[in-house]
Structure 1
Amino acid sequence: MIHEQIADRGQRLAAIFSSISPDSEPQAARRPETALFPRALRALVGFEVADVPWRKWLPGLKEYSLDMDGCEVRLMWIRPGRALPAHTHKGVELILVVDGAFNDERGHLGPGDISIADETGGHRPVAEQDRPCIAFAVSDRPIRLTGSFRQIIGDLIG
C-alpha cells in the first residue's frame, strides 16, 4: 500500500513537472540575471547582495543582522578558506548557502544547500578556497563556542 502511494506520488509529480515549461513563469516573478539572492530572500532583506551593508564581525567574516521575532537572522560573507569558530547550538540553526560553499563535519554545502544544526552536535564551517561563501542563517538560540582555548582564539582572530 505505501509503495503504491509513493509510486503514485512520484508519477503525479513527474507529470506536473513535465508539463511546466521554463517560460511559463510570469515575467514579474523571474529573478534578474545578476541576482544572487532567491526572490523570497530579496523580498525579506529588501536588496540584492551587492547592496548589503556588511559589518565586520571577525577577520574574514562580515555579517548583516536582520534579527526578528526573537531569532538571530543574518546574512554572512565568509572569506575564502576562512574557518568559523567551532561551536555547538543551544537551539536550532538553519543556514542556506546562497553563493560559494563551505565544508563542515557533515560534508560539503554549496549554493541552494541548507545546513540544519542543533544541540546534538557541533561543527566548524570552513569556506572553500575558490570564492567567498555567502549564506543566510537563522538561529533560535545563541551558539556555544567549543574547542581548546588556543583554537577559539585562533578562530576569533582569523
Structure 2
Amino acid sequence: MTSGPARPDDSARRPTWRRWAVACACWVAFVWGHSLIQGPESSLESGMVVALLRPAFEALGILDADLMSLIVRKCAHFSEYAVLGVLTCCCARARWRDTGRPPLPAGLLAALVPVADETIQLGVPGRTGQPTDVLIDLAGLATGALLALFVACLRGRAPRTG
C-alpha cells in the first residue's frame, strides 16, 4: 500500500535568502524610482490620493488640504519602508536559516536606504531631502520588521536564541 504522492518537505517550499534579497532590491528600486519623480508630478499623485481620502479626512475634522497632503505623503513614506522592513526581516531570517550567519548586515543595509533615498531627492527638481523623512522611513522599517517577527512568532517559525 502506498502512502500517496510524495510531498516536498517544508524547506523545499521556502524561499531562500537570495530570493528575499532580490525582493528587497526590487522594492528599493521601486522606492528610489519613485523618488526620481519630479515635484509637480509627485504633487499630482499625492493630490489624487487626497481626493480619494477627502471624505475620511473631513469625517475626522481635517479640513486643510495642505495638512491632508502632508499626512498622505508621510504615510506613504512610512508604508513604503514598512514593506521594506517586512522583506528585510524575511531575508535576514532566511539567511540565518540557510547559512547560519547572523542577519545584522541586512538590517544595516536597509537602514541606509532612507538616507540614500533622501539624498536622491536633493537632485530632483521640485523635491527636497528631509531628515525628518529619514526618521519616518526608519520608523516604518522597524515597524515592518517587528510585524514580520510577530507573525513569525505566531506561526512558530521565529529563530530561537540560546
TM-score under structure 2 normalisation?
Answer: 0.21
**Bigger radius of gyration, 1 or 2?**
2
The two structures have a TM-score, normalised by structure 1, of 0.22
Q: Relative to total residues, which structure has the larger helix share, 1 or 2?
A: 2
Q: Which has the higher strand share?
A: 1
Which of structures 1 and 2 has the larger relative contact order (alpha carbons within 8 angstroms, sep 6+)? 2
